[in-house]
Structure 1
Amino acid sequence: MEQKIREILAAHGKLAVDVASLSDDSNLFEAGLTSHASVNVMLACEDEFDVEFPDEALKKATFASIDALSDVVGRLVDESA
């Protein structure tokens, strides 16, 4: 899942650095992720993983790192199975 999220971030995150240079716990906002880009990342994750982010997941902490995003998406995938 982390690799697919990295691909989504590379395509939609508009990061200031190469996503390959980031660790799974790197702060994505420090790497250049903006609020607007996080919406595009969320939409791409919803499409890719066939999930819908609930309102309570729409917070900065969800998009703080690849680990955080993977945890939320993983839970949503498990809940939809």
Structure 2
Amino acid sequence: MKARIREIIARTVELPGGIDGLSDTSDLYEAGMTSFASVQLMLALEEAFDIEFPERMLNRRLFSSVSSIAAALDELSTEHVGG
């Protein structure tokens, strides 16, 4: 899943150094992601994973790293299966 998230980030967010040099826990905002780009990323993730982020999850922390995005997607897929 993290590889797919990285692909989506690579084509959605213009990071000065690119995504390849960042670890899964690197802060995407510190790497150059803007608030606007985070909205674009959210929409791309929703489309790619066929999910919708609930309002309670829409915060800067969720989109701050590959790991935090993967954790949120795991949580949403668990809720979807269980709910």
Instruction: Please state which band the TM-score falls in when normalised by the shorter chain.
Output: over 0.9
TM-score (norm 1): 0.94
Cα deviation per residue 1:5-48 (whole Å; 9 max; x = unaligned)?
00010011111111011000001001111110001111111011
Give ranges in structure 1 of 5+ residues lacking alignment: none
Give ranges in structure 2 of 5+ residues lacking alignment: none
TM-score (norm 2): 0.92
Q: Percent identity among equivalent residues?
A: 42
Return the letter of the residue paired with 1:54. P
Which residue in the other structure is 1:45 paired with?
45
Which residue in the other structure is 2:18 paired with?
18
Matched residues, number? 81
Which residue in the other structure is 1:63 paired with?
63
8 Å CA contact retained: 1:49, 1:77? no
Cα distance in 1 for partners of 2:12, 2:42 equals 9
Q: Which has the higher helix share?
A: 1
Stretches of 4+ aligned residues off by more than 2 angstroms: none
